[in-house]
Structure 1
Amino acid sequence: MRLPFFFLISSLIFSVSASDLEDVAQSREWNLLLHYRSSKSEVDSGAFFLAPQGPVDPLAELKENIAAANDRRRVGFNKEEFECAFPARAQFLIDQRLIQKREVRCERLQKFEQQMGAMQIWMIFAASFPNNPASVFGHTFLRIKTHPEKMTPDLLDYGINFAANTPGTDGTLAYAWKGLMGGYKGYYSITPFYEKVLEYSEVESRDMWEFELPLSPMERKRFLLHLWELLNNSWFDYYFLDENCSYQLFWPINYARPSLKLIDSKAFFWTPAETVRKLFDQFNSFEKTKNRMSVKARFILQKENLESRDRESLNAIIANEKKIEDEESADVCNAYLAYLEWQKSKSGKLDQAQFDKALKARSLLPIKAPPEFETPLSNPLLAHDSRLVGLKVNKDWASVDLAPFSHHQLKRDGGFIPFSEFEFFKANIRYEYDQKKWSLNRFDYFHVSALNAVDSLDRALSWRVNIASDQRSHFVEGGAGYGFGFWNQQALAYSLLKAEVHFLNHGEKRWSPGPSLEVGLVQRFHRLKNRLKSELLYSEFIREWSSSIATGYSLNRNQVLSFEALHTYGLDKKSKSDSIVLGFEHSF
């Protein structure tokens, strides 16, 4: 019986011409299903392929899939029938008339489809979290609406995530190195959506933006079947810069609608905000957009919108100088309820007695429509693009800035945490007019800073970390301090006490550690950003004081004009220099 069956399979394969099979193997859908890029798959798990040469040979993988389906072979990580392990591939082969449709009982797949529902698919953007270097760019994942919107709340939906599987024993440096070099395995996973809301919106106080993808029922079905294949049979070498949590979400979406060009161009670095922007550009729009404000942001906005008298009353209630039962303002009661929820997110415990008193006090007051707040700046669609090219000039030199990612204090805050900076692998190449030559003036490997305003309720630290090289030395600096907001949080004054270690390029003694103090003021007003900064560095071989005033004006989302006046004074050699620099930056 085995020999006739072999000839049956052979006849099915060879009834299609070799050229037809080659056309199918090179088709866009087949390449999307196998995650091929230039005939090499980005999937690294063996269970995802049936042919030994499948990762690099689409035709060999196609033939082996046809044979596995007709041979009723048990395949994949869970050793299931072909239609159960790879339902999207099976449907593709049926549509291409390369295999025949047959009844197969796939209990796990059927349960998955019923559980997911896929009434809607949403891209979720969790805003950046500067207090964790791994989350400074934000995070993206997907939400699958399990049932019609009116039947179940969003919190009962499922989140689809792609992330690196990291052991808890790795430190920050090991995490960064392995993340850059593909040292972790990345997996797709399913998590109850309420757990994601708890993690991002409540515990980490991050705004969440939700964008519904305009996919048809058939496209959502295709998405779900391919997602099943990825969840059960794949893992990837995880690269922090390109093959990361944002980029990998493109693949099942692109298979759902092959006409999209989400994965056609691969950037050196994919940020979560760019993922949302690219989806918006490809779909031309989103069906719906929602903002799920963090508990901290809700409280701060409610507090800032209070009249001065009501704000004093709220502060008195929080300080236990006034009872909530005596409050006569609905706005104050609402703000106090938001405050209690914020405190719960920090401590994990709700002051139930006070919460009940606040609810009772609020119930006795007239119903009032909630205030309308301005759209938070954390919306990723407001963010500038990540890559940078810039030009700076002054009387002695001209320079070019290049970086795969750059956001600094003179750029618009849209899509980013206000007063934050993130720059990676930024090169400043300078041309000296008198010497008539180009040279690498400075290279910033890693620069992250977060300036936070403190008040009586939140004592968040401001901090900065920078690893860089210039013509004088290679150096590492890091420090922390406090910032104080004013002008309705449109300006922030700060001070940072830092430690710096310089490895000098010249001289017998190379190491020059020492403390430094930085004070500054950053102000934002629509398109205009201003910064005053003064810094004192005192080490064994470098003792200097510098101060600067800088202004940035955003012409549009991606272009900035800048002006900076800088004064540097050497404390030991009594030398000084002054410089005025004009600049233009373009993000793309």
Structure 2
Amino acid sequence: MQLHEDPQWLALVHYRRTVFGNWVSDADDPDFFLAKTGKHDPEAELSATLRAFSAPGGGDQHARCRFPARYYWLKSRLELGRAALSDQHCKAFSEWAQTLNAHSVSLIFPASYLNSPSSMFGHTFLRLDRKNQSDDAHLLAYTINYAADVNMADNELFYAYRGLFGGYPGVISVQPFYEKVQEYSDFENRDIWEYTLDLSPGETVQLIRHVWEIQPVRFDYFFIGENCSYRVLSLLDAVRPGLGLREKFPYRSIPSDTVRAIVDAGLVKSVNYRASAATVLNAHTRQLTMGQRRIARQLANGEIPLDSDEIESLAATERTKTLEVAYEWLRYRTLADKLPRDSVADLSYKLLLARSRIDSPSPLKLPQRPAARDDEGHKPWRADLGFGFLDHTAFGSLRLRSAYHDLTDPAPGYRLGAQIKFLDARFRYYENNRFQVEAVDVIDIASLTPRTGFINPLSWTIGLGARRKLLESSRPMVGYLDGGIGLSYGVGSGMIFGLMDATLETGAAIPSGADIGFGPRIGFLYRGLGGQGLLDFRIDCFIVNEDYCAGGIRLDHTVNLGRDYALNLRLGRERGENSYASEFLLSVRRYF
């Protein structure tokens, strides 16, 4: 029957083909294999598994109890009777499965979180739902989560290095959903998408069996490749034959891409949106007047008593809204600022008591569900093909980007002001037969979050790479490290931001080998005119070599042509060291 080549067997032991065509399992724990060569030999592992299942003895340590998903699948394929391959009562597994009490499965997708390197692209895990479970009862359901077992003592550089090259073990954890909601929605203010999967009760049980098999197993964790989303795909492959989801992501697995693949495979029955605490608070504060917002802040800060004239003078509906927002902001501050609960418990109780004395339902409307989910946005790879002029010299342009989204890419499915770019390279061929690498951005991240009267985050940017620098008579390539910090404010459907930037540049064209610059950056992000755009003004004053200030102004506007196509126009005027240059560039963008 060649069962060792069956896709289901290969998925259960997490085999994949290497670039040389050989088999290798993603599992990095010798205890997961029953054959000495099992990591690289599906046939030897299958033979060893059958021998172990047929061995005498019993109890939770028997192979039939250690690998119930393998046992169930082999028994169904080989149709062996009880005499040949008898069932084994597995007390530990049975009690664990009864505790989970899973009837169906949901895929959970918390949105991206720029303040954590491992969560910049979002996160995915599974929730085990019970039969006829209400929406409120979902919070008590269990989840299956795969994440890196991080040493909290590691510094950021060591953390990034180990995360990129598999230096951390990946571990499966099972915990209540309310703990994950508290972690992602309350503490990190990440909206959550919940996808009810079209798995049968039998497939759900087989998923539980397989999670039992791999729960104690080490898988080396890679932030880009074998991450949380990759492991979710491998679990789904193991319970439904022929899906082949994992094969679609041989080198990297971005959560939004993997969710898109699960949707395209027809595995999703319905989708629910769970707004974060910050999203709810922002939506509710927009429904208050300026005066009511001021009163709500004063109440939450304990600056005015609950029986003050300002409160009593409000109509019942307006007083209800003000009290509710005051309580929500106090709760948000408690979580975000990690305030001692005993320091705010008395005020929280008084706010809730005052609200309970008003006999009317809440007049505040919940935030609307976004028009596009995170998995419905453009794809992360991007290729630009265009033409333009640098002063009066024409050129053709090619741009290739590995991931993920920049400020002027199509906005649906992405957060305004959030930018994550990896490996973004730009090339030009000028009319005088001159080919140039224009820039290579290794990483470029921007977190521009508007401040409100209640939530006041800092905006920041960081970038690393190489780019052309305008000097008096040339544009040499220099390496750079940029960073900025400042404030952003919402304006209509867009935002304005102001940052104080610092720049370190290095290269042979710089007399001392390196130079440092400081200066302001002001920008306006907007939506409209068929897409979205950025008007950006920046000054950098360098201080190490000859003192001079460089910078420029740039308009970057993108017209959306569907989800995965766009037309981009860039106009700019740049000032270098005693020189100026103007730029025009028109490009067609393709996302894939």
What's the TM-score once normalised by structure 1's chain length?
0.89
Give the alignment partner of residue 565 of structure 1, picking from 550, 567, 571.
571
Which residue is equivalent to 1:466? Answer: 463
What SS does structure 1 have at the residue aligned with 2:324?
A: helix
Which residue is equivalent to 2:263? Answer: 280
Displacement after TM superposition at 1:199 (Å): 0.9
Give the alignment partner of residue 78 of structure 2, picking from 93, 97, 100.
97
What SS does structure 2 have at the residue aligned with 1:557?
A: coil
CA distance in 1 between partners of 2:487 and 2:219 (Å)? 41
Deviations 1:324-354 (A, max 9, x none): 7624223333323322321222234453333
Does the aligned pair in 1 maintain the 2:279–2:367 contact within 8 Å? Answer: no
Which residue is equivalent to 2:386? Answer: 392
Does the aligned pair in 2 maintain the 1:73–1:82 contact within 8 Å? Answer: no
Q: Among the aligned pairs, what percent are the same residue?
A: 25
Which residue is equivalent to 1:333? Answer: 323
Give the alignment partner of residue 420 of structure 2, picking from 416, 419, 422.
422
What SS does structure 1 have at the residue aligned with 2:245?
A: coil
What SS does structure 2 have at the residue aligned with 1:460?
A: coil
Specify whether residues 305 and 381 from structure 1 end up closer, same or farther in structure 2 by C-alpha distance, changes over 3 A only: farther
Specify whether residues 373 and 458 from structure 1 end up closer, same or farther in structure 2 by C-alpha distance, changes over 3 A only: closer
Q: Is residue 271 of structure 2 the alignment partner of residue 268 of structure 1? A: no
What amino acid is aligned across from residue 45 of structure 2 in structure 1? E
Does the aligned pair in 1 maintain the 2:399–2:424 contact within 8 Å? Answer: yes
What amino acid is aligned across from residue 302 of structure 1 in structure 2? H
Which residue is equivalent to 1:231? Answer: 215
Q: Is residue 277 of structure 2 the alignment partner of residue 295 of structure 1? A: yes
Displacement after TM superposition at 1:508 (Å): 5.2
- 5+ residue gaps in structure 2? 18-22, 469-476
Specify whether residues 480 and 170 from structure 1 end up closer, same or farther in structure 2 by C-alpha distance, changes over 3 A only: same
- How many residue pairs align between the two structures? 557
Does the aligned pair in 1 maintain the 2:383–2:398 contact within 8 Å? Answer: yes
CA distance in 1 between partners of 2:568 and 2:453 (Å)? 35
Does the aligned pair in 2 maintain the 1:277–1:380 contact within 8 Å? Answer: no
Q: Is residue 557 of structure 2 the alignment partner of residue 551 of structure 1? A: yes
Does the aligned pair in 2 maintain the 1:115–1:146 contact within 8 Å? Answer: no
Specify whether residues 183 and 582 from structure 1 end up closer, same or farther in structure 2 by C-alpha distance, changes over 3 A only: same
Displacement after TM superposition at 1:267 (Å): 4.4
Does the aligned pair in 1 maintain the 2:284–2:364 contact within 8 Å? Answer: no
Specify whether residues 526 and 258 from structure 1 end up closer, same or farther in structure 2 by C-alpha distance, changes over 3 A only: farther
What SS does structure 2 have at the residue aligned with 1:287?
A: strand
Which residue is equivalent to 1:255? Answer: 238
Give the alignment partner of residue 367 of structure 1, picking from 352, 361, 368.
361
Give the alignment partner of residue 128 of structure 2, picking from 120, 135, 144.
144
Which residue is equivalent to 1:356? Answer: 349
- 5+ residue gaps in structure 1? 1-19
Does the aligned pair in 1 maintain the 2:498–2:523 contact within 8 Å? Answer: yes
Deviations 1:415-468 (A, max 9, x none): 33211110001111222221253x322111111110122233333111011001
Specify whether residues 454 and 567 from structure 1 end up closer, same or farther in structure 2 by C-alpha distance, changes over 3 A only: same
Give the alignment partner of residue 526 of structure 2, picking from 523, 526, 529.
523
More displaced 10-residue stretch of structure 1: 404-413 or 105-114: 404-413
CA distance in 2 between partners of 1:492 and 1:504 (Å)? 35
More displaced 10-residue stretch of structure 1: 247-256 or 537-546: 537-546
Q: Is residue 444 of structure 2 the alignment partner of residue 447 of structure 1? A: yes
Deviations 1:81-110 (A, max 9, x none): 011100011112212227534232211100
Displacement after TM superposition at 1:212 (Å): 0.8
Give the alignment partner of residue 179 of structure 1, picking from 163, 182, 204.
163
Does the aligned pair in 1 maintain the 2:465–2:481 contact within 8 Å? Answer: yes
CA distance in 2 between partners of 1:278 and 1:336 (Å)? 42
CA distance in 2 between partners of 1:263 and 1:252 (Å)? 9
Give the alignment partner of residue 344 of structure 1, picking from 312, 334, 348.
334
Does the aligned pair in 2 maintain the 1:425–1:445 contact within 8 Å? Answer: yes
Does the aligned pair in 2 maintain the 1:273–1:415 contact within 8 Å? Answer: no
Does the aligned pair in 1 maintain the 2:16–2:24 contact within 8 Å? Answer: yes
Specify whether residues 57 and 400 from structure 1 end up closer, same or farther in structure 2 by C-alpha distance, changes over 3 A only: same
What SS does structure 1 have at the residue aligned with 2:113?
A: coil
What amino acid is aligned across from residue 379 of structure 2 in structure 1? D
What amino acid is aligned across from residue 448 of structure 2 in structure 1? L
CA distance in 1 between partners of 2:283 and 2:297 (Å)? 15
Deviations 1:53-74 (A, max 9, x none): 1111111111111111112478
What's the TM-score once normalised by structure 2's chain length?
0.88
Which residue is equivalent to 2:580? Answer: 576
CA distance in 1 between partners of 2:266 and 2:437 (Å)? 41
Which residue is equivalent to 1:477? Answer: 482
